[in-house]
Structure 1
């Protein structure tokens, strides 16, 4: 069937009129069984023809599918409008200083998706944020779409603004909560221990430092010898890690360490901590369990078996 009626719209033009991502409309029409994939092109099904779909020929584009304008009022099509999805490309409208790759990498660092050879693989945490696994019909690579409301999600807004370098944060500097994502550099007059001296001398030097003066091998400031052991283990095991990383929730909660490659949050439980610190750590543990996030506690009693404990933990996640 051929039709050259100018009132008919191509699928791409229909998506533009509906203000929908083109890929989303093609995928939805496929799910409705109005079109189907045939080789590298789309073909109408019997259902699609019943909805007014037809073929149109063009010297430039060849044969393509067109639809009547009345389709914009179809209940199934209006339902698409009320459940719009967005891709990272669409998010650039709200975060113009970020590229698609930057947004995807940030989502991967948060644990919402994984960057694989197959494309973008949605995680269970990503599903909690409304993510839906899609597939690019042209190349077969996996994609992830998100509900349009995700651009207003407080956690996503916080993280993408930080990535864009806005410097904005919702942390209260006077709250006393260990949620700062920035690590101050050592003061000019701070003398770090000689890492090439005898082990006993290094140990004594570390023990003699005040808590605010401890620095791990990678330069991270730490608050205790236990945190130092964990930080150095992660560094020497060649795991990129963050210090005092915010959890993917609106609450002012953070973990001592976060390993993005494993989606792992690590908390160091010291002896005789203040009640406020204990309360925060208990809440961090609770949230990690609620969201099914990888979580590991290292207690003061584990200080001499950090290698054994973390090696076992990493093996279980790999």
Structure 2
């Protein structure tokens, strides 16, 4: 456990209130969210110093700075439906749900829209219509300011994405490692191995995005994103060979932290995609030709 941080129960004792009362206060402020089984730390909560720790006896739980500030303005925030969120961002509810689905925060089922584990980290609440029994999702008001959602809106509208970029390091990265290899579907990728992966996906009829920003606050690109299965493909190599163990561990931790589905490919697997990828993709409901 972080030496300077304490559990929610310990923080409640320090503030002379019940743990239940503090959990509810943190939930209203959007610092934590509730899944079926446990409390989930949101990106807002992480910004205010919350973090997960793993305990040998008690498992995973959230710790906070002893002097945690709970923003009262956030506590008064209301939850927005897709229609209300669309009004804030000047898009229809249908388009908002499509963008949220593409980000991997919700998914469409026969029962309606269902929140994903990633959606919980952005303050989503699962709801059921009492009359139609259809499921839908509402959102903590702070999602309106989420930079990844706003970036998706900008990109969807075809506005100047470069002018609205959140981090100029992306531009310098892409300049340093220029994408010079043109794939069959018109993507430009940086390495021969990425070209082989991209062409394999295209020839097998699998819709995919290349160099997709992960839908999180920090800047981290994924190699490939397959929206139909909400799964990412990460190739652990570049034009110089395998990546370092430290870099692989760093990126893996990001995927694990946000519970993103991940398929990993290594340098020695590139010439075995026909044997490797179909079974790995089927785990996420994706079937290759």
If the TM-score is normalised by the length of the shorter chain, which range does it land in? 0.5 to 0.7
1:155 maps onto 2:148 in alignment:
yes
**CA separation of 1:245/1:117 partners in 2, compared to 1, >3 Å: closer, same or farther?**
same
Instruction: Measure, in 2, the Cα distance between the counterparts of 1:136 and 1:255.
Output: 36
Secondary structure of the structure 2 residue equivalent to 1:304: helix
Aligned-partner SS, 2:233: strand
Residue number among 98, 103, 113 corresponding to 2:96 in the alignment: 103
Displacement of 1:272:
6.6
What TM-score comes out, normalization by structure 2 length? Answer: 0.64
Partner of 2:131: 138
What 5-or-longer segments of structure 1 have no aligned partner? 1-80, 180-210
Aligned residue number for residue 172 of structure 1:
168
Tell me by how many angstroms 1:116 deviates: 2.0
Deviation beyond 3 Å, 4+ runs, structure 1: 173-176, 271-283
Work out whether residues 255 and 284 of structure 1, in 8 Å CA contact, stay in contact via their aligned partners in 2: no
SS in 2 for 1:170: coil
Which residue number corresponds to residue 117 of structure 1?
A: 110
- Partner of 1:150: helix, strand, or coil? helix
- 1:89 and 2:83 are equivalent in the alignment: yes
Say if 2:241 and 2:267, in contact at 8 Å, map to a contact too. no
Contact 1:240 1:260 in 2 (8 A): yes
- Distance between the aligned counterparts of 1:283 and 1:240, measured in 2? 27
Number of equivalenced pairs: 207
What secondary structure does 1:155 align onto? helix
Q: Residues 266-307 of structure 1: CA distance to partner in whole angstroms, max 9, x if unpaired?
A: 122226749999876543322111111111221111111112
| Cα distance, 1:227 vs structure 2 | 0.8
Which structure has the bigger radius of gyration? 1
User: Match for residue 227 of structure 1?
Assistant: 194
| Shift in Å, 1:92 | 2.5
Once the two structures are superposed, residues 216-271 of structure 1 have per-residue CA deviations (whole angstroms, 9 ceiling, x without a partner) of: 11111122221112111211221110010000112221111100111111122226
1:272-311 aligned at under 5 Å gives the runs 273=240, 282-311=249-278
Asked whether the 8 Å contact 2:104–2:230 carries over to 1, the reply is yes
Alignment of 1:1-318 (within 5 A): 82-96=76-90, 98-167=91-160, 168-172=164-168, 176-178=172-174, 212-270=179-237, 273=240, 282-318=249-285
Corresponding position of 2:48: none
Distance verdict in 2 for CA 1:261–1:299, change over 3 Å: same
Relative to 1, partners in 2 of residues 1:310 and 1:258: Cα closer, same or farther, differing over 3 Å?
Answer: same
Is the Cα–Cα contact under 8 Å of residues 86 and 146 in structure 1 kept in the other structure?
Answer: yes
Residue 174 and residue 267 in structure 1: after superposition, are their counterparts in 2 closer, same or farther (change >3 A)?
Answer: closer
Cα RMSD for the two superposed structures? 2.8
Higher relative contact order (CA 8 A, sep 6+): 2
